[in-house]
Chain A
Amino acid sequence: MNTREKIARRAEKEIESGFYVNLGIGIPTMVANYISDNKQVVLQSENGLLGIGPFPEESEVDPDLINAGKETVTAISGASYFDSAESFGMIRGGHIDIAILGGMEVSENGDLANWMIPGKMIKGMGGAMDLVHGAKKIIVIMDHVNKAGESKILKECKLPLTGKGVVQRIITDRAVMDVTENGLVLVETAEGFTAEDIQNCTEAKLSVSDSLKLYAY
């Protein structure tokens, strides 16, 4: 199993039956592939669809039906379409149970940076800044360290923020951490990592949960 798949499979466990879920672009989109058949889950797409279905057969491709990543999709039975203002009303209004988003950096107080590298990348924030203030629970999934091997979980974010104090849980290829009033709490480690290993590759200070699950995924 590659690390992206490992992260996506672990993130799936955060989704409960009956949830309305928004998945960000990238690894978060992959989470949909692992949602257990026992769960009734409705996926929201911020471009105006509640009830994203699987990718279409070639013969059923509809150019007017895409997800927020601009991929052609289908709609499930019982889906609804709406405009962008309604879509973000639904998000901001707290009607979405969980949003799973990608991240470049997360700080120990739950600040998230995932939209901009100054001087390098001009893409825009899309719906991320609205989502982080709307969904009932915000989970960030990402690699624990960047390509240079440096921690992406920091005392303070260096990149421009997407939202301040918005993240509740971080899931990486190595660990699961909760953002609490007392800072980051390590709640699970992935196979092959001890609590000490995780602290050694994390810039932010971690406290270890009394109910820490070692090698949980």
Chain B
Amino acid sequence: MKPLLDSAREAVKDIQDGATLLVGGFGLVGIPENLILALEEKGVKDLTVISNNCGVDDWGLGLLLKNKQIKKMIGSYVGENKEFERQVLAGELEVELIPQGTLAERIRAGGAGIPAFFTPAGVGTPVAEGKETRMFGGKEYLMELGLTADFSLVRAAKGDKAGNLIFNKTARNFNPMIAAAGKVTIAEVEELVEIGELDPDAIHTPGVYVQRMIVGKQEKRIERLTVKQG
């Protein structure tokens, strides 16, 4: 049984100023909405946040950005957020942009006990600056390091009380790797079920990676609503 907390506020109680956080989601899909709102309310500052994107101006990680709670952002695409651009150009926010596949693999490696790996992505580009390179089979590769964090915040569609998680459709994205790469992983689930109710073969994230849980109702804002024409 994993500790099930009554509120998101309680779940993030020990996240201190200066902490490093891994946060699941691609765009606004699969983000732990209530845990982010609780961090905004708590007002914890100087955070290093690792997440593919940084929300939009008024939702998701964009809320922490607007509140000046993020000191450094590590991600792959932050183009949806005007405040982000403003803070970077004004020197208020540090940013490290990483190729999306490299980001995913660095987090996977971090959670899987692999300190570094070689990838072709970024060779001959600004991403390669200051990085060790090596030739394999006549082709050049960059060494990239595994990533871990003090806390990982993820969202799943379903979880059982043993911490086993199942994600829905493209809301899976970075969540499984992030769940494995946090010293403390907090899972926000839309629906909590009893142990034994989930098919063991259908579980995406085994409970061993999850330290605490909350149940949270999601708004699931849509960034770009596109429907069939005519």
Across the interface, do B77 and A126 meet the contact criterion of CB distance under 8 Å?
yes
Question: A77-120, CB under 8 A of B: which get 1 and which 0?
Answer: 00001111101110110000000000000000001000010000
Which residue on A lies nearest to B122, using beta carbons? A129
Which of A66, A82, A129 sits near B26, CB closer than 8 Å? A66
Which of B80, B100, B121 sits near A133, CB closer than 8 Å? B121
Distance between Cα atoms of A69 and B53 in the complex (Å): 12
Given A84-B52, A122-B85: A55 touches B172 (CB 8 Å cut-off): no
Which of B104, B125, B170 sits near A64, CB closer than 8 Å? B170
Given A84-B177, A124-B79: A63 touches B127 (CB 8 Å cut-off): no
Which residues B56-111 have CB closer than 8 A to chain A? 75-80, 84-85, 88-89, 95, 97, 99-105, 107-108
Across the interface, do B226 and A73 meet the contact criterion of CB distance under 8 Å?
yes
Across the interface, do B29 and A160 meet the contact criterion of CB distance under 8 Å?
no
Please, could you name 24 A-B residue pairs with CB atoms under 8 Å apart, sorted by A?
A48-B170, A49-B169, A55-B226, A64-B29, A65-B169, A66-B27, A66-B223, A70-B28, A70-B224, A72-B227, A73-B226, A83-B173, A84-B101, A84-B103, A92-B120, A92-B121, A122-B85, A128-B99, A129-B125, A131-B101, A160-B125, A161-B126, A163-B123, A164-B124
Measuring CB to CB, which residues of chain B are less than 8 angstroms from any residue of chain A? 26-30, 52, 75-80, 84-85, 88-89, 95, 97, 99-105, 107-108, 119-127, 157, 168-177, 204, 220-229
Measuring CB to CB, which residues of chain A are less than 8 angstroms from any residue of chain B? 45-49, 54-58, 61-66, 69-73, 75, 81-85, 87-89, 91-92, 111, 116, 122-134, 160-165
